């Protein structure tokens, strides 16, 4: 090779080598920028303290399966539609509960965990993160997306046939059975769960012992009149199956203190207001939150908005009342607080990435931090105008 050819090739190598090096550096910078507020680890089973303050994305198929009938706040659902993805911030309370779940002895009575905090701190979003974790760990999910709906916005009220002295919410019970079926459909195709006894609904209709649990659920969906009775039977069967070691069960209820409230919008035939414990649909969820079973866990939230009464404290003892507190005791309380600085910055970077906020200056970001006090709900509300 001549000296001229060698010099020419060397020049090309330097030119393209420099361009390649620049491209690699740009890519690394982009990855570092993304990793500052995102993670590509979308399986919550693998989340630990190293992932705190980063956002992960729930795959669309899992999101639709878990939250088809609710479970995410309405404002957050609008954001999901706008952003075309369901991204959740990984926070300390969720990581803490998941670490407890990994270490628990499932041969002992179920542990109970209660998320609490002021309005808008993200208790429901944290609960959805834990729900996703339980789904990936093959728990049977007993999930109530927002308990107060049953006592304030019920679809229909009827005198109970199967539970004398109680009132039925047949349409709400049917919707919940659909919700349960969608969430657990894949798992139930693998589990061989069958009824442990006969259930008689009327003189002509009964559910025999030994039939698949899914058939019991389908009966409740198709015969709305008996949906509340089917919910009761289903939860009793799952409790027995968990004790027998046939499955692991996760109870997830948002706004549990609605079950212990002294006010509802439900009235009996004599126009007298009835309490939640007199609602047949609520009674099975009182039963499943007892600690007389094993091979499962109970994760609840208490919220100031879950009851009609004026609330002056967000602490579990105050919101649950004496009877509700004693019903759940012992439990592990876990505070969900406002964002810290790192979480706040991650959310702002995410909003910038989604073009939700644009051209915000450092001073503007600081002002946003001050006027929202880093409260997740207030921040979301303020950013929708930017």
Nearest of 300, 294, 295, 296 to residue 327 by alpha carbon:
300
Domain segments of the chain: what residues? Answer: 107-335, 341-383
First to last CA, the chain: 63
What is the chain's length?
386
Decide: pTM greater than 0.85: yes
What value does the mean pLDDT of the chain take? 90
pLDDT, mean of residues 361-373: 92
In angstroms, the CA 198 to CA 45 distance is 38
* pLDDT recorded at residue 384: 78
Nearest of 166, 101, 97 to residue 126 by alpha carbon:
97
pLDDT tens digit sequence for 204-221: 999 999 999 999 999 999
pLDDT tens digit sequence for 300-345: 999 999 987 767 899 999 999 999 999 999 999 999 999 999 999 9
Q: Assign 228 a pLDDT band (cuts: 50, 70, 90).
A: very high
User: Do the strands 86-89 and 206-207 form a parallel or antiparallel pair, or are they unpaired?
Assistant: unpaired
Whole-Å CA distances, 362 to 90, 338, 351, 359, 371: 24, 20, 14, 10, 14
Long-range CB pairs of 200-209 (<8 Å, 24+ gap) are 201/162, 201/226, 201/229, 207/233
Contact assessment for residue 329 and residue 323, using Cβ atoms and an 8 Å cutoff? no
Joined together, the tokens standing for residue 158 give 């009827």
Joined together, the tokens standing for residue 156 give 């229909």
pLDDT tens digit sequence for 241-265: 999 999 999 999 999 999 999 889 9
In angstroms, the CA 331 to CA 299 distance is 10
Three-state SS letters, 45-97? HHCCHHHCCCEEEECHHHHHHHHCCCCCCHHHHHHHHHHCCEEEECCHHHHHH
């Amino acid at each position: 090779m001549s000296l001229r050819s060698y010099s020419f090739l060397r020049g090309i190598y330097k030119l393209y080598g420099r361009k390649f090096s620049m491209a690699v550096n740009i890519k690394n910078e982009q990855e570092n920028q993304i990793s500052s507020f995102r993670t590509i680890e979308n399986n919550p089973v693998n989340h630990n303290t190293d992932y705190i303050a980063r956002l992960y994305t729930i795959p669309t198929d899992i999101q639709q399966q878990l939250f088809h009938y609710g479970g995410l706040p309405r404002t957050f659902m609008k954001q999901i539609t706008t952003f075309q993805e369901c991204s959740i911030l990984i926070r300390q309370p969720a990581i803490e509960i998941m670490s407890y779940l990994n270490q628990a002895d499932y041969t002992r009575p179920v542990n109970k965990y209660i998320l609490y905090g002021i309005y808008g701190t993200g208790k429901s979003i944290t609960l959805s993160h834990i729900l996703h974790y339980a789904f990936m760990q093959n728990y049977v999910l007993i999930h109530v997306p927002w308990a107060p709906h049953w006592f304030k916005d019920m679809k229909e009220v009827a005198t109970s046939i199967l539970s004398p002295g109680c009132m039925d919410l047949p349409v709400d019970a049917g919707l919940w059975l659909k919700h349960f079926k969608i969430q657990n459909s894949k798992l139930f195709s693998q589990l061989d769960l069958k009824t442990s006894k006969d259930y008689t609904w009327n003189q002509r209709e009964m559910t025999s012992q030994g039939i698949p649990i899914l058939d019991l659920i389908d009966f409740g969906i198709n015969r709305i009149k008996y949906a509340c009775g089917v919910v009761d039977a289903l939860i009793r069967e799952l409790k027995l199956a968990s004790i027998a070691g046939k499955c692991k069960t996760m109870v997830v209820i948002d706004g549990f203190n609605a079950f212990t409230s002294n006010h509802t919008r439900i009235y009996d035939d004599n126009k007298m207001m009835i309490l939640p414990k007199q609602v047949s649909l609520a009674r099975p969820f009182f039963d499943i939150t007892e600690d007389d079973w094993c091979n499962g866990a109970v994760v609840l939230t208490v919220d100031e908005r879950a009851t009609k009464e004026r609330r002056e404290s967000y602490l579990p003892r105050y919101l649950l009342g004496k009877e509700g507190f004693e019903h759940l005791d012992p439990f592990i309380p876990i505070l969900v607080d406002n964002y810290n600085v790192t979480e706040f910055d991650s959310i702002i970077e995410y909003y910038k990435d989604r073009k939700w906020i644009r051209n915000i200056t450092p001073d503007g970001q600081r002002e946003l931090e001050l006027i929202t006090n880093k409260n997740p709900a207030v921040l979301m509300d303020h950013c929708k105008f930017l």
